[in-house]
């Protein structure tokens, strides 16, 4: 009697836990660069279904409503213990020198919630924030199942090397900077370029009604700054550059606020408003704008400026502007040149002459509209390399490589109709 052959067991999808910092909720209903990137990863996984994801987050009613229909992601909403506040000087020491600060009880609650998760995660990815806070989780699962996703310049230390068996870096600059003080094998230091929603950030005509509502005339040359209003972003230098231009048609639109997800005063914002007062109607502040509305603002601009004063890890604003077909003027910092490659962006050096360089570049681009058009077209083409599907496919590849799994065993992406 012939033996019956059993069908081959279907490969199990790797179970991956994402641990973003406990400051803003996921999905990113209040903004935040890390939270937005994690949200794009979750949504792409909903479309493709190649991973079984867990994601820790602080609770938020709007975020929880958006996550309710997730089929391939389980959200672990963990409330911050009442009265639990980090002592920020210790956080600064921890981020700069890799010295473990007192344990944040929120991470302890995440660790306790994992004791009830079956099967347990195959991989833990700490998504930025205070990375040494995942030390207990690493001891629970082992460093070879823990990856640190570096969303900014991060100093390595013996503590970090003990916690994480690998890193994800947003750029070569971030990877190389980390490895200078790490004993990590370079093959375990992966590059995972940031991404944007290339179906949202697309070229298109300016919304003339929105432009007019902001007080801009058809002949105005609108320079846009988008981001958090803090000194490191260099917005005060951009205001100096605008003030140095004796051209009343050059206007500045400032999109953003001092804090994620809300418009609120800060001492630095007050200084900016005083600085802008001398320029009258040449400067407009919008306050916080939700991510899904940002393309409208990019498209009404003639130029997008990213005047950061520090080593920028990646520069999402530059990518989003490129996706919308707008020329970019930026400082040469960190991973910025890596992301803007191929966009014909104008890069200037940081330093005492920054405001003068920005002023010169704005004047030059104002006088050469054809060059702006060429830069916008080149940027829109270059931005396609940073799509969410590309980001997700590379993330899945890295998960399989880090865990030593055969890529051939990865489940095929689910057909689009299955995700309806």
Q: What is the CATH number of the domain that holds 98?
A: 3.40.50.2000
Q: How far is CA 205 from CA 236, 301, 302, 322, 392, in A?
A: 29, 10, 11, 14, 29
Quick check: is 298 in a domain? yes
Quick check: is 413 in a domain? no
User: Do 184 and 225 sit in the same domain of this protein?
Assistant: no
Quick check: is 52 in a domain? yes
User: Do 372 and 229 sit in the same domain of this protein?
Assistant: yes
Q: How far is CA 69 from CA 43, 305, 335, in A?
A: 11, 38, 36
Specify burial of residue 194 (Cβ count, 10 A radius: 0-12, 13-18, 19+). Answer: buried
User: Do 68 and 91 sit in the same domain of this protein?
Assistant: yes
Rg (CA), the chain: 23
User: Do 221 and 121 sit in the same domain of this protein?
Assistant: no
CA atoms within 13 A on the CB side of 330: 29
Identify any residues that bridge with 206 across adjacent strands, giving them in sequence order.
none
User: Do 365 and 333 sit in the same domain of this protein?
Assistant: yes
User: Do 241 and 363 sit in the same domain of this protein?
Assistant: yes
Q: Which pLDDT does position 230 carry in this prediction?
A: 94
Quick check: is 10 in a domain? no
In whole angstroms, give the CA distance from residue 343 to residue 322.
7
- The structure tokens listed for 67 are 């996550």
User: Do 227 and 215 sit in the same domain of this protein?
Assistant: yes
User: Do 25 and 145 sit in the same domain of this protein?
Assistant: yes
User: Do 127 and 273 sit in the same domain of this protein?
Assistant: no
Q: Which pLDDT does position 418 carry in this prediction?
A: 42
Q: How far is CA 212 from the centre of its chain?
A: 30
Q: Which pLDDT does position 160 carry in this prediction?
A: 96
pTM confidence score = 0.85
**Parent domain of 333:** 208-384
Quick check: is 228 in a domain? yes
Q: Which pLDDT does position 83 carry in this prediction?
A: 62
Q: Which pLDDT does position 420 carry in this prediction?
A: 34
User: Do 183 and 105 sit in the same domain of this protein?
Assistant: yes
In whole angstroms, give the CA distance from residue 96 to residue 39.
27
Secondary structure class of 189 (helix, strand, coil): strand
Question: In the chain, how many domains are there?
Answer: 2
Quick check: is 317 in a domain? yes
Asked if the bond preceding 27 is cis, omega within 30° of 0, the reply is yes
Secondary structure class of 33 (helix, strand, coil): helix
User: Do 156 and 239 sit in the same domain of this protein?
Assistant: no
- The structure tokens listed for 336 are 């910025």
Quick check: is 417 in a domain? no
CB 184 within 8 A of CB 166: yes
CB 298 within 8 A of CB 304: yes
How do the pLDDT tens digits run along the chain, 420 residues long? 555 555 555 678 999 999 999 999 999 998 888 999 999 999 999 999 999 999 999 999 999 999 999 999 999 999 998 765 544 444 555 555 554 555 788 998 999 999 888 899 999 999 998 999 999 999 999 999 999 999 988 889 999 999 999 999 999 999 999 999 999 999 999 999 999 999 999 999 999 999 999 999 999 999 999 998 999 999 999 999 999 999 999 999 999 998 765 556 889 999 999 999 999 999 999 998 988 999 999 999 999 999 999 998 888 899 999 999 999 999 999 999 999 998 899 999 999 999 999 999 999 999 999 999 999 999 999 999 999 999 999 999 999 999 999 876 677 776 544 443
Secondary structure class of 223 (helix, strand, coil): strand
Quick check: is 202 in a domain? no
CB 318 within 8 A of CB 306: yes
DSSP per-residue letters across 377-418: HHHHHHHGGGBHHHHHHHHHHHHHHHHT--GGGSPPPPPGGG
DSSP per-residue letters across 62-96: HHHHHHTT-SSEEEEE-PPPTT----HHHHHHHHH
User: Do 402 and 280 sit in the same domain of this protein?
Assistant: no
């Amino acid at each position: 009697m012939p033996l019956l052959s059993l069908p081959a067991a279907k490969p199990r999808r790797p179970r991956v836990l994402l641990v973003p910092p406990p400051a803003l909720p996921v999905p990113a209903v209040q903004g935040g660069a890390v939270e937005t990137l994690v949200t794009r990863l979750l949504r792409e996984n909903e479309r493709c279904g190649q991973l079984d994801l867990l994601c820790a987050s602080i609770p938020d009613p709007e975020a929880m409503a958006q996550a309710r229909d997730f089929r391939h992601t389980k959200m672990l909403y963990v409330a911050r213990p009442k009265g639990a506040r980090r002592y920020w000087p210790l956080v600064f020491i921890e981020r700069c020198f890799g010295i473990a600060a007192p344990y944040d009880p929120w991470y302890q609650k995440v660790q306790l919630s994992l004791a009830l998760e079956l099967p347990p995660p195959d991989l833990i990815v700490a998504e930025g924030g205070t990375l040494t806070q995942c030390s207990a989780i690493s001891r629970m699962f082992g460093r070879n199942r823990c990856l640190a996703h570096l969303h900014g310049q991060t100093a390595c230390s013996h503590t970090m090397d003990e916690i994480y068996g690998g890193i994800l870096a947003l750029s070569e600059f971030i990877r190389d900077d980390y490895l200078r003080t790490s004993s990590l094998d370079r093959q375990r230091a992966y590059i995972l370029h940031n991404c944007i929603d290339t179906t949202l950030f697309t070229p298109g005509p300016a919304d003339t009604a929105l432009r007019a509502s902001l007080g801009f005339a058809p002949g105005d040359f609108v320079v846009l700054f988008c981001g958090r209003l803090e000194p490191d972003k260099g917005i005060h230098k951009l205001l100096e550059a605008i003030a140095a231009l004796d051209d009343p048609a050059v206007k500045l639109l400032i999109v953003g606020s001092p804090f994620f997800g809300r418009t609120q005063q800060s001492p630095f914002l007050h200084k900016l408003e005083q600085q802008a007062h001398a320029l009258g109607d040449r400067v407009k502040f919008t306050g916080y704008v939700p991510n899904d509305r940002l393309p409208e603002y990019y498209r009404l601009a003639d130029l997008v400026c990213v005047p950061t004063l520090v080593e920028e890890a990646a520069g999402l604003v530059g990518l989003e502007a490129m996706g919308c077909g707008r020329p970019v003027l930026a400082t040469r910092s960190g991973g910025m040149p890596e992301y803007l490659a191929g966009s014909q962006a104008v890069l200037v050096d940081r330093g005492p002459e920054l405001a003068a360089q920005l002023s010169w570049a704005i004047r030059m681009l104002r006088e050469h509209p054809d060059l702006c058009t060429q830069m916008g077209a080149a940027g829109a083409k270059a931005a396609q390399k940073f799509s969410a599907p590309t980001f997700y496919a590379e993330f899945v590849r890295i998960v399989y490589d880090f865990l030593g799994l055969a890529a051939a065993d990865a489940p095929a992406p689910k057909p689009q109709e299955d995700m309806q």
